[in-house]
Amino acid sequence: MSTFPIPMLTILTALPIVGALVVFALGKNRARWSALAFSFAALLLTLVLWFHFDAASGALQFQETRSWIAPLAVDYHVGIDGLGLLMLLLSAIVVPIGMAASSQIQQRVPLYYSLILLLQACLFGTFTAQNFFHFFLFWELSLVPAFFLIKLWGGPRSTKAATQFLVYTMVGSVAMLLTFLALFLATHTFDFAQLAALAQNGQLMPAVVDKLAWHRFTPQHVALILFAGAFLGLAVKVPLVPFHTWLPAAYAEAPTGTTILLTGAMSKMGVYGFLRILLPIFFPQMQMVLTPLLWLAVATIVLSAYAALAQKDLKRILAYSSINHLGYCMLAIFAIAKFTGGDADLTAEKQAAMSGVFLQMFNHGLTASALFWFVAMLEKRTGGLRGLDDFGGLRKVAPVFTGLMGIALFSSLGLPGLNGFIGEFLIFKGSFPLVAWATSLAVLGLLTTALFTLGILQRVFSGPLNEKWRAFPDLTIGERLALAPAIGLMFALGLYPQLVLAAIDSTVIQIVQQLRF
C-alpha cells in the first residue's frame, strides 16, 4: 500500500503541532490528559501506518510530493521506508512514556506538554523528510523545545547544560548546512535520493569539486571537508566520542521525562542521519577515513562504558550507557561502509549488521526510556534523590519495582530473551567478519556494561536495606499497568524479533544493495 488516499505523513506531523497549540490554550488541569490524548492519537496513526505498510517493498511509501520553494529546487517530499517507519513508531511510543514520567512537573504544565508535543512533531518531520531542506528544518527546530525543556524544568545546573547542548548541536548543524549548500550548488538538489544516486554514479564529488575549485585543495580534500561537515553535525547528535561531552550534563539536568525523549528518540536522529545521509552519499569518504572512524566508534563504546562505571548518579550512568549503546550502531555502520564494492559474499554480513543497527536503535529507545522512567519513579518517591549510594536493599520493600527495573536493566545489558540481545548480537555477528579488530575491541565495552549494570542492581536493590527507605512504596497498580506494555514489548521483541525484522527486512536489503554497484 504505497499510496494512501489521505496525506498520512503530513497529518502525522501536523497532529502534535495542533496538539501543542490546543494544550497550550487549555488550562493547567487539562493539559496533562489532553497532551497524553494527542500522543496516543499519534501512536494510533503510526500503528495505522505500520499495518498498512507494505513490508515486501523496500521503496518509499506513503509518499507525498508537492512543489515548495522553486529557487531552491525544494519539493515538499515526504515518505517512509522501513527505517522511517521504525523511527516513527519509536517516537510515537517514547513520547507517551516521557509524558507519563513527567508527573512531577508542577510549574507551567501546559507549556511543558506543548513543548513535548512540538518536539514530537519535529521528530516526525525529521524521520519522514526526503530532502535535506525539510530534514534540516525539523532537525533544527527540535532544538528549541529540547532546550527549553532542559532549561526551564531542569535541575540546578540546567542552564549551563542546556546551553552546552544547544551550542554543540548548533555548531554541528551549521557545519552540516554548509556542506549541503555546497552539494546543492553542484547538483542543484537537496533530495536525498537524487544525491545518493549521484554519489553511486560517482558524479557527486567531481561536480562539487568542479564547482568549488579551491585552488589549494585537491578534490579529495574538498570531498573530505564536506564529509567532515556533515559528519560533525550528525556525530554531535548521536553522540560519538569526543563530541559527547554535552550529553551527560544534559541528560542528568533535564527533567527525567525530557531525558526519556532525548535518549529514546532524539539521539536516534543522529543515527538515522548516518543511515539516511552519510552512508548513501558519503561512503567513499567514509572509506577514506575508515580506520579513524572505527577507532572513534570503539572509543565511544569502551570509554563511555568505563565512564559509566565511575558515575554515582543513576541518570549519568544511564546517559553514558546510552552513548555506549549507540556506539554499537556506529561501529556497525562504519563496518558496513568498509566494503561497498562488488563483495557479494559479504552481503549477508552487511545485512545482519544493518538489521542489528535498526533493532538496536529501536530497542535502545525502548529500554532506555523504560530505565529513565524507573529513575523518574524513584525520584518521585525520594524527592529527587538518585545517587547510586543513596539506596540499598530496596528489593525488600519494593519487590515489584525491583523486578521490573531488573528486567529493563537486563534488557539493556543484552540478556538473551530480552529485546536488547538480538540487536547487539546481529551487530556483532555482522561486523566481526567485516572489521574483526574493532569488533573485538568493542567486546570490552560489552563486558564493562555488564559490570555497571549489575552494579546498579547490587547497590540499589540488594544488600542491607537503607533504613531511610523503610517506607519506600512499591509500584502502584496504575504504574504497573502503565509499565506493562513496555515490559511486554521487551519480552516480545526478545523472543520474537521477527515482529520488527519483518517490517525492515526489505529496507535493509534495499540499503545494502544500494551500496553495491
Partner 1 sequence: MLAWTIYISFLGAAAMFLLPKGSVALARILALLTAVAGFALALTAFVQHRSGEMLTVTRVPWIPSLGIEYHLAADGISLALILLTGIVAVTGILFSWDIDHRTKEFFAFYLVLIGAVYGVFLSYDLFLLFVFYEIVIIPKYFLIAIWGSTRREYGAMKLVLYSFVGSAMVLVGLIAAYVVSGSQSMSLGDLAGYPFSPHFQMFAFPLVFVGFGILAGLWPFHTWAPTGHVAAPTAASMLLAGVVMKLGAYGCLRVAMTLFPLGLVTPWNHHVLGLGSWRGVFALLAVVGIIYGALVALVQKDFKFVIGYSSVSHMGFILLGLMTLNQIGLSGAIVQMFSHGILAGLLFAVVGRMVYARTHTRELAALGPMSLNHVIPFAAVAFVIAGMASMGLPGFSGFVAELMILVGAWHAFPLLAVCVGIGIVIGVVYVWRAMQKAFFAESRNEPASPEHPLPPISLPERLGAIILIGASVLVGVYPQLLLNIIVPALNSPLFDGLRKGSWQ
Instruction: Give the x-and-dash track for 39-78 against partner 1 (CB under 8 A).
Output: ----------------------------xxxxxx------
Question: Quick one: which of 1, 25, 48, 185 contacts partner 1 (CB under 8 A)?
Answer: 185
Whether 77 and 134 have beta carbons less than 8 Å apart is answered as: yes
* Minimal distance, residue 71 CB to partner 1, in Å: 5
Distance CA 314, CA 298 (A): 24
* Minimal distance, residue 69 CB to partner 1, in Å: 5
State which residue, 190 or 251, has the beta carbon closest to partner 1: 190
Does 383 contact partner 1 by CB under 8 A? no
State which residue, 276 or 338, has the beta carbon closest to partner 1: 276
Does 170 contact partner 1 by CB under 8 A? yes
Whether 268 and 87 have beta carbons less than 8 Å apart is answered as: yes
Whether 98 and 258 have beta carbons less than 8 Å apart is answered as: yes
Segment 104-143, which members bind partner 1 (CB under 8 A)? 133, 136-141, 143
Does 444 contact partner 1 by CB under 8 A? no
Question: Quick one: which of 182, 207, 288, 492 contacts partner 1 (CB under 8 A)?
Answer: 182
Give the residue among 227, 258, 246, 214 at the shortest CA–CA distance from 98.
Answer: 258
Segment 208-267, which members bind partner 1 (CB under 8 A)? 211-212, 214
Sign of CA pseudo-dihedral 271, 123, 247, 500: negative
Q: Residue 63: which H helix or E strand, with range? A: strand 61-69
E strand segments, 363-487: none
Does 144 contact partner 1 by CB under 8 A? yes
Q: Residue 78: which H helix or E strand, with range? A: strand 74-80
Distance CA 419, CA 426 (A): 12
State which residue, 47 or 228, has the beta carbon closest to partner 1: 228
Residue with cell string 585537491: 218
* Minimal distance, residue 16 CB to partner 1, in Å: 14
State which residue, 162 or 366, has the beta carbon closest to partner 1: 162
Question: Quick one: which of 177, 207, 415, 450 contacts partner 1 (CB under 8 A)?
Answer: 177
Question: Quick one: which of 77, 151, 315, 338 contacts partner 1 (CB under 8 A)?
Answer: 151
* Minimal distance, residue 345 CB to partner 1, in Å: 42
- Pure H helices in 101-203: 109-128, 132-141, 143-153, 158-187, 192-201
Whether 36 and 120 have beta carbons less than 8 Å apart is answered as: no
> CA angle, corner 50, sides to 128 and 513, nearest 5?
65
Could you list the residues that contact partner 1 (CB under 8 A)? Answer: 67-72, 133, 136-141, 143-144, 148, 151-152, 156, 159, 163, 166-167, 170-171, 174-175, 177-178, 181-182, 184-185, 211-212, 214
